[in-house]
């Protein structure tokens, strides 16, 4: 019977996709508003689609090359023949998640603006529905990919379970590679457009944000869709899949020596957990609604009601899942799952604490602007660095908790402990359907605000979309904490999966082994170098946008008086070109480093590399995300009237802080999440090579 358990996750995948389809129909039924709004929306959509098409074309060259390399490795006997194909499907579905999310988001933006003109709740419903299309597409496609491969390998190719989970884990590498390109490329696009538009438009020309006279305004809106929507979709697809497949692989290893339970049941746990997560996330979405005259606090409550209810329901039901599948004596495994769920909630809360202007840290940061830009910079950096301690302690407690709780009754079975850590990541991500919905709705609201401004709608519409957008900033902060927390746990599970791939007893991962130490140093350095590369890229790309916008202001007569149209397409094209060029080197760095270290210094050094990169990347990502988020909200706080309000010296300082924070929080920071998992994925796929080639 147990081999049919996977059918449940296949069913959940179908349910998620159908729900996404239903939600997208609901969105599309709504009016796009007047002709101008539809036209603006169409150009944003066209720009985003053109960018993604070009991006996917470049990425497909990379995938083709990797496919050939993996095929050669398979021919040499270093891999099974399923791996190259699994790699392709992982990449394909990850890209597809991003594409669908972007498609619906660019169709929902004008509709949200229109809906907001009718009322706040209507606006929220449309934006949130669009977000949920993305949320459920990601989990649906993720579960679909996993379930189909599983069933195929089990029933068609009749592979033994160990080989099934081994092959499945490798399609995570495809997903991660795609995700990294999407995050880095999209992240550079969105911030280059944003920074470029702000530097010339707001600072030099003194026109408001989203003013139609600014030639980079469409590019800025396109950026939200390709970066914050498509990039994030690919990113979380990869996290979701990575946590599930690594749990499956570790489950097989953990139950090898526990004869009372067939290890196929251990493989089923993460899949069923994900499946019930889908169902309860859907239930949660129905709770996200509010009264027409709601304020921001009520809106946030509505969103929280949805996510919290889902989390509680999952927490309760997963107890019965563990009981039914593994038996009551494995209640420790249930507790490990709970650790992950709880850690996710706590990290989300503390991320908000550090970055929201309703709490002390960001308020204090805003006050440092009174002594100038320099003190605001120092304040933001130290806030971000300080804030790393909380998620570190939470994740550490979760790791220790998950490990030791899951080995209750089986102490000494370290593989069971590692399985527990992997499951805590699955637990954290089980609510992904709804948390991603609340996260992805932000950019839609942001775009809606832009369209309202450009189409000259009643200011009350912009006020409403601003309320939605500002709420989006809070959910985005929570989402970021969630993404990085799950990334750390998933990366640890993947490191354990890598170690599982190595011949037993032949390698030592002791910190007293110099190769491990050197790997650790290089690994710890990698996120810094990677962040530097992506920040430099944003700088260069923004520079070219600045020059183009300046050129248009100079050369297009009548532009500033609103008598002539700006050449929006040129800016979109420029951003696309620059970001596609710039995304290649950081991505290749991430893929090549573990291969080089593995070949030169051996598999032990790779474990050091992965651990070093995970630890330092986790902390650097939190630092950058929280510094950036706090600067952003400190600016908003000042704009709301504190310390002299808009136009004051404090505000000028805060604009600088926000501009510095932009690549921190939207390009470099989130890319690190993917980086640390991709490193592990690449190492897993190439482990055979390291064993065969390296001298160590």
Restricting to residues 407-426, name those near a second copy by CB under 8 A: 414, 417-418, 421
In angstroms, give the least distance from the CB of 516 to a second copy: 7
Question: Which whole-number Å values give the CA distances from 589 to 159, 283, 368, 457, in the listed order?
Answer: 34, 42, 37, 46
Range 514-543, binding a second copy (CB under 8 A): 514-518, 520-525, 528-529, 531-533, 535-536, 538-539, 542-543
Q: Which one of the spans 58-66, 280-288, 349-357, 399-407 is the region binding a second copy (CB under 8 A)?
A: 399-407
Among 199, 232, 422, 572, binds a second copy (CB under 8 A): 199
Distance of closest approach, residue 38 Cβ to a second copy, in angstroms: 35
In angstroms, rounded to a whole number, what is the distance separating the alpha carbons of residues 35 and 486?
43
Distance separating alpha carbons of residues 127 and 121, to the nearest angstrom: 10
Alpha-carbon Rg for the chain in angstroms: 24
Which region among 455-463, 471-479, 504-512, 684-692 touches a second copy (by CB under 8 A)? 504-512
Q: Does 3 bind a second copy (CB under 8 A)?
A: no
What is the Cα–Cα distance from 107 to 331, expressed in whole angstroms? Answer: 46
Contact of 688 with 78, CB cutoff 8 Å? yes
469-498 residues in contact with a second copy (CB under 8 A) are 488, 492, 495-496
Residues 588-617 that bind a second copy (CB under 8 A): 601, 607-608, 611-612, 615-616
- Least distance from C-beta 175 to a second copy, angstroms? 24
Of 56, 150, 171, 623, which lies in the binding site for a second copy, with binding defined by CB under 8 A?
623
Under the binding rule (CB under 8 A), the answer on residue 267 touching a second copy is no
Q: Exposure string (b/e) for 96-110, b if CB count within 10 Å is 16 or more? A: bbbbbbbbbbbbbbb
Binding flag, residue 630, a second copy (CB under 8 A): no
| Contact of 190 with 691, CB cutoff 8 Å | no
Residue 253 binds a second copy, judged by CB under 8 A: no
Q: How many residues bind a second copy (CB under 8 A)?
A: 81
Report the run of H or E that residue 612 belongs to, with start and end.
helix 584-639
Binding status of residue 234 toward a second copy by CB under 8 A: no
Tell me whether residue 154 or residue 382 sits nearer to a second copy (CB atom): 382
Please tell me what DSSP assigns to residue 643: G
CB 670 within 8 A of CB 535: no
Asked if residues 530 and 590 have their Cβ atoms less than 8 Å apart, the reply is yes
- Report the residue from 268, 426, 619, 681 that binds a second copy according to the rule CB under 8 A: 619
Distances (CA, A) of 655 to 362, 530, 635: 15, 25, 6
Instruction: Count CA atoms within 13 Å of residue 464 on its CB side.
Output: 26
Q: At closest approach, how far in Å is the CB of 628 from a second copy?
A: 11
Does 386 bind a second copy (CB under 8 A)? Our answer is yes
Q: Which is nearer to a second copy, 304 or 550 (CB)?
A: 550
- CB of 682: closest distance to a second copy in angstroms? 18
Q: Smallest gap, in angstroms, from Cβ of residue 213 to a second copy? A: 20
Helix 82-118 and helix 161-197, axial crossing angle in degrees, nearest 10 = 40
Closest CA to 184 of 237, 138, 241, 230: 230
Q: Which residues contact 393 (CB under 8 A, 6 or more apart)?
A: none
| Closest distance to a second copy from the beta carbon of 388 (Å) | 5
Q: 145 or 548, CB closer to a second copy?
A: 548
Closest approach, Cβ 508 to a second copy, in A, equals: 7
Give the residue among 595, 584, 593, 604 at the shortest CA–CA distance from 534: 584
User: Strand, coil or helix: what is 696?
Assistant: coil
388 binds a second copy (CB under 8 A): yes
Of residues 499 and 625, the one with the C-beta less far from a second copy: 499
| Cβ proximity of 163 and 153 under 8 Å | yes
Q: 15 or 397: whose CB is closer to a second copy?
A: 397
Asked if residue 545 binds a second copy (CB under 8 A), the reply is: no
Q: Say whether residue 371 binds a second copy (CB under 8 A).
A: yes
Q: Name the token pair of 275.
A: 């499946």
* Residue 376 falls in which region: left (phi positive, over 0), alpha (psi -120 to 50) or beta: alpha
359 is an interface residue for a second copy by CB under 8 A: no
- Give the DSSP letter of residue 565: -
Biggest alpha carbon distance in the chain? 80
Q: For residues 655-674, which are near a second copy according to CB under 8 A?
A: 655-656, 659-660, 663
Question: Does 379 engage in binding with a second copy (CB under 8 A)?
Answer: yes
Options 109, 373, 486, 587; binder of a second copy; rule CB under 8 A: 373
Q: What is the DSSP string of 180-249?
A: HHHHHHHHHHHHHHHHHHIIIIIIII-PPTT-TT-TTHHHHHHHIIIIIIIIHHHHHHHHHHHHHHHHHH
Nearer to a second copy, 47 or 598 (CB): 598
To the nearest whole angstrom, how small is the minimum distance from the Cβ of residue 219 to a second copy? 17
Please identify, using beta-carbon distances, which residue of 26 and 540 lies nearer to a second copy.
540
User: How far is 264 from 153, CA to CA, in rounded Å?
Assistant: 13
The least distance separating a second copy from the CB of residue 541, rounded to whole angstroms, comes to: 12
Q: Is 389 in the site for a second copy (CB under 8 A)?
A: yes
- Which residues 178-197 are close enough to bind a second copy by CB under 8 A? 195
Segment 574-593, which members bind a second copy (CB under 8 A)? none
Per CB under 8 A, the list member of 59, 179, 342, 546 interacting with a second copy is: 546
């Amino acid at each position: 019977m147990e081999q049919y358990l996977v059918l449940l996750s296949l069913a959940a995948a179908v349910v998620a996709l159908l729900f996404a389809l239903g939600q997208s129909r609901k969105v599309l039924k709504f009016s796009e508003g007047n002709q101008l709004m539809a036209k603006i929306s169409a150009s944003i959509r066209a720009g985003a689609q053109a960018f993604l098409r070009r991006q996917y074309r470049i990425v497909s060259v990379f995938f083709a090359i990797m496919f050939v390399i993996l095929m050669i490795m398979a021919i040499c006997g270093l891999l099974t023949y399923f791996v190259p194909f699994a790699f392709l499907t992982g990449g394909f579905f990850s890209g597809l998640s991003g594409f669908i999310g972007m498609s619906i988001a660019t169709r929902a933006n004008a509709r949200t603006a229109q809906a907001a003109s009718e009322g706040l709740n209507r606006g929220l419903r449309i934006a949130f529905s669009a977000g949920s299309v993305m949320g459920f597409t990601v989990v649906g496609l993720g579960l679909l990919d996993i379930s189909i491969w599983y069933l195929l390998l089990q029933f068609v190719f009749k592979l033994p379970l160990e080989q099934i989970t081994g092959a499945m884990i490798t399609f995570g590498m495809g997903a991660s590679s795609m995700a990294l390109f999407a995050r880095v490329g999209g992240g550079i696009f969105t911030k280059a457009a944003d920074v470029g538009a702000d530097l010339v438009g707001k600072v030099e020309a003194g026109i408001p944000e989203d003013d139609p006279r600014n030639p980079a305004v469409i590019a800025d809106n396109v950026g939200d869709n390709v970066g914050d929507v498509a990039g994030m979709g690919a990113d979380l697809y990869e996290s979701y899949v990575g946590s599930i497949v690594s749990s499956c692989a570790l489950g097989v290893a953990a139950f090898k020596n526990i004869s009372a339970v067939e290890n196929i049941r251990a493989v089923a746990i993460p899949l069923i957990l994900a499946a019930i997560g889908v169902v309860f996330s859907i239930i949660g979405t129905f709770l996200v609604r509010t009264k027409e005259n709601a304020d921001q606090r009520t809106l946030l409550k509505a969103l929280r009601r949805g996510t919290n209810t889902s989390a509680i329901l999952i927490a309760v039901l997963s107890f019965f899942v563990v009981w039914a599948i593994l038996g009551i004596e494995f209640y420790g495994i249930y507790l490990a799952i709970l650790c992950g769920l709880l850690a996710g909630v706590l990290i989300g809360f503390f991320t908000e604490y550090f970055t929201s202007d309703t709490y002390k840290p960001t308020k204090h940061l805003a006050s440092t602007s009174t002594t100038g830009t320099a003190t605001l910079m120092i304040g933001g950096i130290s806030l971000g660095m300080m804030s790393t301690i909380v998620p570190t302690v939470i994740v550490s407690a979760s790791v220790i908790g998950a490990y030791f709780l899951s080995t209750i009754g089986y102490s000494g079975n370290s593989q069971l402990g590692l399985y527990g850590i992997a499951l805590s990541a699955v637990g954290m991500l089980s609510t992904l359907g709804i948390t991603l919905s609340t996260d992805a709705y932000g950019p839609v609201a942001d775009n809606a605000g832009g369209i309202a401004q450009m189409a000259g709608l009643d200011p009350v519409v912009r006020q409403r979309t601003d309320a939605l957008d500002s709420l989006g900033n809070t959910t985005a902060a929570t989402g970021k904490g969630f993404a990085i927390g799950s990334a750390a746990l998933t990366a640890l599970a993947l490191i354990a999966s890598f170690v599982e791939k190595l011949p037993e007893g032949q390698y030592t991962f002791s910190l007293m082994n110099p190769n491990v130490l050197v790997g650790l140093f290089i690994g710890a350095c990698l996120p810094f170098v990677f962040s530097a590369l992506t920040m430099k890229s944003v700088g260069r790309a923004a520079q070219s946008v600045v020059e183009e916008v300046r050129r248009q202001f100079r050369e297009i007569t009548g532009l500033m008086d609103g008598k002539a149209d700006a050449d929006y397409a040129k800016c979109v094209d420029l951003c696309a070109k620059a970001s596609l060029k710039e995304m290649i080197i950081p991505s290749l760095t991430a893929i090549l480093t573990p291969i080089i270290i593995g070949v030169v210094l051996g598999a032990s050094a790779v474990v050091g590399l992965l651990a070093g990169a995970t630890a330092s990347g986790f902390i650097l990502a939190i630092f950058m995300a929280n510094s950036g988020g706090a600067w952003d909200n400190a600016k908003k706080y000042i704009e709301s009237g504190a310390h002299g309000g808009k136009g004051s010296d404090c505000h000028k300082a805060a604009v600088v802080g926000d501009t510095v924070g932009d690549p921190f929080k939207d390009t470099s920071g989130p890319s690190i999440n993917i980086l640390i998992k991709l490193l592990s994925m690449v190492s897993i796929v190439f482990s055979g090579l390291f064993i065969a080639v390296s001298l160590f």
